Amino acid sequence: MGMTPKPFNFPAKRRTRLLLLTASIATAAAAVQASNSDELSSLSAENLGAQVHGLVRTARAVSAVASTVADYEFSLRGLRKDSHQYRHSISEVHLRSAKRLLKLCEVNKGFYVKAGQFVAAQRVLPKEYSSTLSALQDQVAPLPFKVIQGVLNDNLGPDFTEMFESLDEEPIAAASIAQVHHGVLKSGHEVAIKVQYPWVQQQMAFDTRTMYFLSKTIAWFCQKDPS
């Protein structure tokens, strides 16, 4: 009579954190090396801050993916795919992983929210992913109007308020990369002003590289285990 294999216990927190930190540092270092050294030397303080912020966002993503890889590998180790225990365990891992990605998207915002919304719409993925990430379809919390004023000031000039009879501070909609405000021009015409969040353009290079890595990882999971 064979013994039912026990699920492998997830690694201790310290060991897992060390693994994630190492992976994050390695990816951050690769991102820095991929950048042109002349460009880095000419960065302004603002752009340098954006680069550092991009590395932090990338490190978060790598940590989330590393946790997910470890979770699948260790939690399902020794289980037969045709067993009830395997089906139960993989459903739990799917749910934990989906919640992990949801948190990543909510913290990193921007392009991550957009990608999470896309993933939620893919019915080919396990239901735990689509149902959990569907929370990203809800309206995103808007930025304070002070930040929006700064963007308008940079693009339209310091006297941009003179263009409007009124400009609502509360947005009529907020999405992953921009929000929309209602305004009335001096001519009396009503307009909808879509303002892109200030960090979106600067973060795009880091985010697209990271999303490429994430998509390859997700594709690997689907090929490895289609359930």
Give the pLDDT of residue 146: 92
Looking at the fold, whether 103 and 118 belong to one and the same domain comes out as: yes
Q: Are 71 and 10 contacting, i.e. CB atoms less than 8 angstroms apart?
A: yes
Measured CA to CA, the distance from residue 180 to residue 196 in angstroms comes to 9
Give the pLDDT of residue 88: 94
Calculate the average pLDDT of the chain: 78
Segments forming the whole domain that contains residue 79: 13-137+200-224
Whether residue 7 is contained in a domain is answered as no
Q: Which two tokens stand for residue 122?
A: 């893919």
Q: Are 148 and 197 contacting, i.e. CB atoms less than 8 angstroms apart?
A: no
Among 28, 29, 15, CA closest to 67: 15
Q: Spell out the long-range contacts of 19-26 with Cβ–Cβ below 8 A and sequence spacing 24 or more.
A: 19/66, 19/70, 20/62, 20/63, 20/66, 20/67, 23/62, 23/63, 23/66, 24/58, 24/59, 24/60, 24/62, 24/63, 25/59
- Look at the chain and report how many structural domains it folds into: 2
Looking at the fold, whether 17 and 36 belong to one and the same domain comes out as: yes
Whether residue 116 is contained in a domain is answered as yes
Q: Residue 224's CB: how many other CB atoms inside 10 A?
A: 9
Whether residue 39 is contained in a domain is answered as yes
Q: Each residue's pLDDT tens digit in the chain (227 positions)? A: 444 444 444 454 444 454 444 445 445 545 544 454 444 454 455 566 666 777 788 888 888 888 888 899 899 999 999 999 999 999 999 999 999 999 998 888 888 888 888 888 887 889 999 999 998 887 677 889 999 999 999 999 989 999 999 999 999 988 888 899 999 999 999 999 999 888 777 777 778 877 787 677 666 765 655 44
Looking at the fold, whether 80 and 124 belong to one and the same domain comes out as: yes
Whether residue 22 is contained in a domain is answered as yes
- Report CA 67 to chain centroid distance, whole Å: 15
Q: Which two tokens stand for residue 125?
A: 């993925």
Measured CA to CA, the distance from residue 194 to residue 179 in angstroms comes to 6
Whether residue 172 is contained in a domain is answered as yes
Looking at the fold, whether 208 and 100 belong to one and the same domain comes out as: yes
Looking at the fold, whether 169 and 211 belong to one and the same domain comes out as: no
Whether residue 5 is contained in a domain is answered as no
SS3 at position 181: strand
Give the pLDDT of residue 211: 75
Give the pLDDT of residue 45: 56
Looking at the fold, whether 52 and 127 belong to one and the same domain comes out as: yes
Give the pLDDT of residue 209: 77
Looking at the fold, whether 28 and 83 belong to one and the same domain comes out as: yes
